[in-house]
Amino acid sequence: MIRVMLSDDILTIEEVANYLRVSERTVYEWAQRGEIPAGKIGNVWRFKKPEIERWVNDRLLNKHPSSTVPVARILSPDRIVFLNSSSKQDVLVALCDNLAAAPQIKNREELLTEIIKRDELMSTAIGRGIAIPHVRLSSVTDLVAAVGVSGTDIADFQTLDDEPVRLVIMIAAAYSQHAYYLQTLSYFSSRLKNSQLRCAIMDAQEPLEVYRLLASESQASTTGC
């Protein structure tokens, strides 16, 4: 039996399904209908990692563009963490440790394992210095988030725009919360396009200040810092 060796930038249906948390059949049908960027090697569908990353980010930014999320329900000042590490691994561990203290999280080890596994498969950096690592797990009882604000460039996130990550929103949801999970990802992705909001968060001196910025429904102009 001859096995085709894939490069790190080429994904299988199974890998894409695991990343998107959908069935392999769903990915296959999307590919057949041309709804997801894909190509065939022989009779087998393959997917380029950068194209899937762009596809995911575009869907997050355009899905539920005007929907709001009750930030006060899923975030609290004690889940805002100021960081000073250039290591993605250290940042993900620190945020998992913080998030695991929330009553909605029942298994810290599963959370950490799945968060790291997901980011190793495909980067959760969405550009503009932002990353949104996210998982749905059966051990999570309700959607909850933590926020990391880094005073140092986190250099080893693979970013589409080459801008180092400084702001990390970690989201964990119950496995049954698919629609709410997508809405929350879309909300933060869209909201953080606002450059003034990002600058205000990076300039904040305490967690409560970051929390108030994110919980506020007012939208500042996007003309810059």
| Closest-CA residue to 155 (of 147, 142, 167, 165) | 165
DSSP letter assigned to residue 133: -
Query: In this model, does residue 61 exceed pLDDT 80?
Result: no
* Neighbouring C-beta atoms of residue 180, cutoff 10 Å: 16
pTM: 0.75
Where exactly are the structural domains of the chain?
10-62, 71-215
Contact 158, 92 (CB under 8 A): no
Query: In this model, does residue 54 exceed pLDDT 80?
Result: no
Q: pLDDT-derived band of residue 132, with 50, 70 and 90 as boundaries?
A: very high
Contact 196, 61 (CB under 8 A): no
Supply the pLDDT for residue 1.
Answer: 35
Any idea which of 65-69, 167-171, 177-181 has the lowest mean pLDDT? 65-69
Query: In this model, does residue 131 exceed pLDDT 90?
Result: yes
Query: In this model, does residue 59 exceed pLDDT 80?
Result: no
Supply the pLDDT for residue 5.
Answer: 40
Ramachandran sector of residue 55 (left: φ over 0; alpha: ψ -120 to 50; beta: rest): alpha
- The CATH number of domain 71-215, selected from 3.30.1320.10, 3.30.479.10, 2.70.50.30, 3.40.930.10: 3.40.930.10
| CATH topology (fold) of 10-62 | Multidrug-efflux Transporter Regulator; Chain: A; Domain 2 (1.10.1660)
Mean pLDDT score of the chain:
85
Which residue is it, tokens 């970690």?
A: 170
Condensed to tens digits (0 to 9), the pLDDT of residues 62-92 reads 554 446 778 989 999 999 999 988 999 999 9
Q: pLDDT-derived band of residue 223, with 50, 70 and 90 as boundaries?
A: very low
**94-117 mean pLDDT:** 96
Query: In this model, does residue 213 exceed pLDDT 80?
Result: yes
